[in-house]
Homo-oligomer: A and B are copies of this chain.
Amino acid sequence: MLVMIRRHPLAEQAAEELLRRIGSGEWALGAKLPGETTLAAQLGVGRSTIREAVRELAGRRVLESRQGAGVFVIALQAAEDWDKVLRKADITDVLEGRLAIETEGARLAASRRTPADLKNFRYTLADRQRAAVKAPDDWYIEADLAFHRAVVTAAHNAVLTELFDTFVPRIRRAMIDMLKLDEEHRHRHDQAAHEAIADAIRAKDPDLAAARSREHLSAVRSSIR
């Protein structure tokens, strides 16, 4: 223990160790961990270090401590951090996930869109048009994402909207990289494809909206390779 290279604070290492033991089945769901003093002695660290480790796992909703009673396991593993999953994932995998969400979103939007949704389309499309002509990259990216979000929002499905928002940071980074390699700004010229998606939703044609959404996003995916 004393010899090991310390890249992380002791408290973090202790948290990882506890998480490992929980995952290995040493303590079942709902089980009570040994007392702080016992754990401190076991891991060879001070009591306050153990407390911080437990606090960290409490923040990750794995442990729960009750004064006077003890520390208890409330989850066998840390909830998947989606931002981390997406960061590590291959960009084509992410784009295929986005395609699944947006295609279905466009399909549902075609039957559920309200007048407010259509107004939102007009606004975000006009904004995207302006940004495509003269705005710097980051402005354009935000305008583009705003329209795509408007489509998903029009599906009036909280899960799909939340999924889209989860994907946004990763998509944004990918677009930044993509635009850097795209000196001709070819990507900005597909305003027509966006208008077409909005038109299909406006016309209440689910299959067409889904098809056009799929077509557009497939093109984006292809342009990556």
Contacts and interface: CB of A to CB of B under 8 A. Distances in A.
Quickly give the copy total for this chain: 2
A85 to B, nearest CB: 6
A153 interface: no
A5 interface: no
Interface string A82-118: 1101100110011011011101110010000000000
Contacts of A38: none
A200 interface: no
Given A58-B59, A93-B159, A97-B101, 19 more contacts: A11-B55, A15-B59, A51-B52, A52-B52, A61-B83, A79-B82, A80-B166, A82-B82, A82-B166, A85-B159, A89-B159, A96-B108, A96-B157, A97-B160, A100-B100, A100-B105, A103-B104, A104-B104, A163-B163
A88 to B, nearest CB: 9
B55 A85 contact: no
Given A56-B56, A67-B9, A162 B100 contact: no
A24 interface: no
A163 B55 contact: no
A191 interface: no
A158 interface: yes
Q: Which of A15, A48, A90, A159 has the largest count of B CB atoms less than 10 A from its CB?
A: A159
A157 B97 contact: yes
Nearest to A160: B97
A188 interface: no
A60 interface: yes
B108 A104 contact: no
30 contacts: A9-B67, A11-B55, A15-B59, A48-B48, A52-B55, A55-B55, A56-B58, A58-B59, A59-B60, A79-B81, A79-B82, A80-B162, A82-B82, A86-B159, A90-B158, A93-B158, A93-B159, A93-B160, A96-B104, A96-B157, A96-B159, A97-B101, A97-B160, A97-B163, A100-B100, A100-B104, A100-B105, A100-B160, A103-B104, A104-B104
